[in-house]
Amino acid sequence: MQDKQTHTPLGPAAAFGLLCLVAVSWGLTWPVNKAILSYAPPIWAVALRYVLATLFMLPITWSLGRLRFPPRHDIPVVLSIGSLHMVMFGVLCSFGLLYVSAGRSVLVAYTTPLWVFPFARIVLGEPLTASRLAALALGLSGLAILVNPLALDWADRNVLIGHGLILLAAILWASSIVYARLHKWTSSPFDLLIWQCGFACLVLCPFAFLVEGPLVMQVDGHLVFLLVFSSAIGTVLPFWALNTVNQSLPATTTAIGLLGVPVIGVLSSFAFGERATVATVLAMVLIVTGISIGALGGRKR
């Protein structure tokens, strides 16, 4: 009886509040993850994040009596989120960061709604309502202003590879969002999170060793802070919240809400010395307006 209560879908207001929490935590995490890359190579940086997230979750789930193997019915959602989002999205974005700046990377990565909409329409049958189309148009217009494809050096092969890897990451994440909405959850998102992180560790650590060799890095207080923030605030918290939201809101509404991540990412970059421009402010206005319209449309559904 208790298990059924833990994974009962939330009301629209609570779900949208969690979606805002996801946007803030992931938005703040992008500059943190960029800083970690100065200590560790890209794949190891992702692997460390999930190792610490698993270690962080272990005593919590144990003390709450929630550490139990997921039922067979939930194994597919553990594998889909663990592989598509945690492993593939993380690794592809890390490799993309070798060729593309962190600021542009987060913006390209969050073209995810562009891919969620057709997937959700085909797989879930979610209607493309006027409010969702308007929200998508506003949000992607804001992203287009920020990314500015006309500024790309299309003759640079590395630039094209980097953007292609990050776009592929966005498509894989969109697939994960749609599947999480389609899946009939038996366990709560909280109970499955440690297994998703653990699966990511089992894949990422050997992969990092094979591609990048043994991990060698200088550990100091700054790195410890970055890793703790990235694993706890940037991984455990938003993944739990997003999995909960995926049960409670349409996939299209969730995708629109995630457009807030690059907004927070851009705002946090101002704190690190980047200057605001007219294009940046205009883009943020469009994205925030799109999020508002999409959220209202999802609540009326």
How confident is the model over 109-133, as pLDDT tens digits?
A: 877 777 887 888 888 887 777 877 8
DSSP state, residue 153: -
Which pLDDT belongs to residue 301? 46
End-to-end CA distance of the chain: 29
In which residue ranges of the chain is pLDDT below 70?
1-9, 101-104, 146-147, 150-153, 272-276, 294-301
**pTM higher than 0.85 for the full model?**
no
DSSP state of 150: G
Burial of 282 (0-12, 13-18, 19+ CB in 10 A): middle
What pLDDT sits at residue 5? 42
Residue whose C-alpha is closest to residue 117's, from 169, 181, 184:
181
